[in-house]
């Protein structure tokens, strides 16, 4: 039987590289973008569907009530704007999809639609927007609010936001640009119409002042895990970035969003669910376990994980004992699904163990490239699709790990017929829909 192919993406952000590791990537100065250009060229050689740049909009202070740990460990900060980096990457690649995160909290819809259309042009139709609502009080306070709006309300606002941007993207009818030499007419003004949007939260006249872009709108990427979040993704997303603890939970999540998509009248196959996945590899299985052990036993591994969890939940994880489970009544107005998945409430596992288990993304994989490839095929066969989003298991991106994936794991997947060996479509949305 010919195996069903699955998709590959990479999950990272525009931040410091692994400046202090034995095989560091050049000294912690990735700000000129060169490291990311090289990174993306390697991903393109390996035929990844997309490169995804996560983002947040604050210096986190929730761990211990100050920014000490976040800054000492460079966790979530410094972090640069992914949008200009996406434009730079676009000009150095030809096929790879490039996804930048932009928050509905920070951007007015008109500017978001405008910059998206612009980068979609610059990339020849390879731009994607990771739609987020932001999950931190500190981010809200950078945009004139005293605190983050309540979780479900953020999704209601985001639905209206989508309505505005979708109308803006459609504000130029097909064929509006005529470039008629005889009449010296560039665009037909009767086909470029205001949208006159007046909603509960947004008011926007339109039309958009950019030319219609190759994809019409960017590919929409989303990561909601709550009830409201899943509905949002099912309604809008071309691809969902997801986490789940193990193949059974991965299958449940995917089945659930597919059901919801059908309920909204969409073809569930039009949504590709990609799971965070952080394999650890070596030339032998024993070597891979050694790398795994070394990575997880470092103090910085635990500290960075806690700093991250505090940052995205506004919960001070410095208050909890490493040797006990987290309190079961812990809640957040931030990333609720990420908290639930991390805390594994009711499992009785101590915090120390939860930190280790959070490393894997969605399923543990430690071994040779062939062993990991085999496992990925088995997981996808059980889950039903649609792919993986690779993320460095321990720290930030570094060249050594990137090439282990692109030159070890991907060829092993390709030999099994599990992933693409070429790009056949020009745009990101078409690439996602290819299988
Ligand atoms: C894999 C993954 C990636 C995410 N990336 C971002 C991000 O870059 N920026 C951000 O503000 N939120 C990010 N989020 C948060 C989600 O967009 C969403 O707001 C959060 O999961 C809360 O939604 P929920 O309560 O429906 O799970 C991410 C979540 C997941 C699971």
374 CA from centroid of ligand 1 (Å): 29
For residue 157 and ligand 1, the question of a CB distance below 6 A is answered with no
Tell me the CA–centroid distance for residue 421 and ligand 1, in Å. Answer: 30
Coil, helix or strand for 123?
A: coil
Minimum-distance ligand 1 atom for the alpha carbon of 139? 11
Which tens digit of pLDDT belongs to each residue from 16-38?
877 888 877 666 678 999 999 99
Is the pLDDT reported for residue 2 higher than 80? Answer: no
In this prediction, residues 349-375 reach a mean pLDDT of 93
Q: What is the pLDDT of residues 52-105, one digit of tens each?
A: 999 999 999 999 999 999 999 998 899 999 999 999 999 999 999 999 999 999
C-alpha torsion sign, points 228, 243, 163, 155: positive
| CB-based burial label for 398 (10 Å; 0-12, 13-18, 19+) | buried
Q: What is the pLDDT of residue 64?
A: 95
Q: Which residue has the higher pLDDT, 396 or 252?
A: 252
Residue 50: pLDDT above 80?
yes
In terms of DSSP bridges, do strands 203-204 and 197-198 run parallel, antiparallel, or are they unpaired?
antiparallel
* Closest-lying ligand 1 atom to the alpha carbon of residue 334: 22
336, pLDDT greater than 90: no
Please give the torsion angle defined by the CA atoms of residues 207, 210, 214 and 219, in that order, rounded to the nearest 10 degrees.
-70
Atom of ligand 1 nearest to the CA of 241: 1
Confidence of residue 168 (pLDDT cuts 50, 70, 90): very high
Average pLDDT over residues 103-120: 98
Residue 15 CB–ligand 1 contact under 6 Å? no
Confidence of residue 396 (pLDDT cuts 50, 70, 90): confident
What is the reported pLDDT for 213? Answer: 98
For residue 60, the model assigns a pLDDT of 94
CA of 234 relative to ligand 1 center, distance in Å: 15
What pLDDT was estimated at residue 395?
Answer: 78
What does 4-69 look like in DSSP terms, one character per residue?
Answer: PP-EEEEEEESB---TTSTT-SSSS--TTSHHHHHHHHHHHHTT-SEEEEE---S----STTSSHH
pLDDT value, residue 19 = 80
Residue 24: predicted pLDDT: 76
Q: Where are the beta strands (DSSP E) in 118-231?
A: 127-132, 177-180, 185-187, 197-198, 203-204, 219-222
Pocket lining: 311 vs ligand 1, CB cutoff 6 Å? no
Query: In testing the pocket of ligand 1, which one of 13, 14, 79, 132 has its CB within 8 Å of the most ligand atoms?
Result: 132
Read off the pLDDT of each residue in 283-311 and give the average, rounded to a whole number: 93
The mean pLDDT of 416-426, rounded to a whole number, is: 98
* pLDDT higher than 70, residue 194: yes
Q: Quick one: pLDDT band at residue 238, thresholds 50, 70, 90?
A: very high
pLDDT number for residue 21: 80
Query: Alpha helix locations (H) across 367-420?
Result: 369-383, 399-404, 410-415
Q: Once rounded to an integer, what is the mean pLDDT over residues 333-337? A: 85
Mean pLDDT of all residues belonging to the chain? 95
Cβ of 229 less than 6 Å from ligand 1: yes
**Where are any strands of DSSP class E within 201-238?**
203-204, 219-222
Nearest CA, atom 30, ligand 1: 223
> ∠ at Cα 52 (381, 214), nearest 5°?
100
Which pLDDT score, from 0 to 100, does residue 3 have? Answer: 79
Instruction: Give the whole-angstrom CA distance, residue 182 versus residue 195.
Output: 30
Centroid of ligand 1 to alpha carbon of 132 (angstroms) = 6
């Amino acid at each position: 039987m010919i195996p069903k192919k699955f998709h590959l993406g990479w999950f990272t952000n525009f931040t410091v590289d692994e400046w202090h590791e034995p095989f560091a990537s050049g000294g912690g100065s990735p700000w000129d973008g060169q490291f990311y250009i090289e990174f993306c060229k390697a991903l393109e050689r390996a035929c990844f569907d997309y490169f995804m740049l996560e983002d947040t909009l604050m210096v986190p202070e929730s761990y211990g009530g100050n920014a000490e740990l976040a800054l000492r460990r460079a966790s979530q900060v410094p972090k640069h704007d992914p949008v200009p980096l996406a434009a730079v990457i676009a000009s150095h690649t030809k096929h790879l999809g490039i996804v930048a995160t932009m928050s509905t909290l920070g951007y007015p819809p008109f500017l978001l639609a405008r910059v998206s259309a612009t980068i979609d042009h610059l990339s020849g139709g390879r731009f994607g927007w990771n739609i987020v609502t932001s999950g931190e009080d500190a981010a809200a306070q950078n945009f004139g609010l005293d605190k983050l709006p309540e979780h479900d309300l953020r999704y209601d606002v985001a639905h209206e936001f989508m309505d505005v941007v979708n109308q803006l993207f459609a504000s130029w009818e097909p064929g509006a640009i005529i470039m008629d030499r005889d009449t010296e007419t560039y665009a037909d003004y009767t086909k470029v119409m205001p949208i006159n949007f007046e909603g509960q939260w947004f008011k926007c006249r339109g039309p958009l002042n950019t030319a219609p872009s190759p994809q019409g709108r960017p590919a929409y990427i989303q990561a909601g895990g709550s009830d409201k979040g899943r509905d949002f993704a099912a309604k809008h997303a071309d691809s969902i970035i997801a986490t789940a603890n193990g193949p059974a939970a991965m299958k449940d999540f995917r089945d659930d969003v597919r059901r919801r998509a059908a309920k909204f009248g969409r073809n569930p196959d039009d949504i590709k669910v990609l799971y965070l996945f952080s394999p650890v590899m070596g030339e032998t299985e024993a070597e891979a376990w050694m790398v795994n052990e070394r990575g997880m036993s470092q103090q910085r591994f635990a500290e960075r994980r806690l700093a991250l969890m505090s940052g995205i939940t506004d919960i001070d994880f410095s208050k909890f004992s490493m040797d006990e489970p987290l309190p079961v009544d812990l809640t957040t107005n931030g990333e609720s699904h990420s908290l639930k998945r991390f805390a594994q409430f009711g499992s009785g596992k101590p915090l120390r163990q939860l930190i280790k288990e959070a490393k894997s993304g969605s399923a543990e994989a430690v071994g040779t490239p062939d062993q990991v490839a085999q496992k990925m095929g088995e997981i996808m066969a059980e889950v039903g699709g649609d792919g993986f989003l690779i993320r460095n298991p321990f720290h930030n991106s570094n060249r050594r790990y990137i090439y282990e994936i692109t030159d070890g794991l991907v060829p092993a997947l390709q030999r099994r017929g599990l992933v693409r060996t070429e790009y056949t479509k020009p745009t990101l949305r078409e690439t996602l829909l290819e299988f």
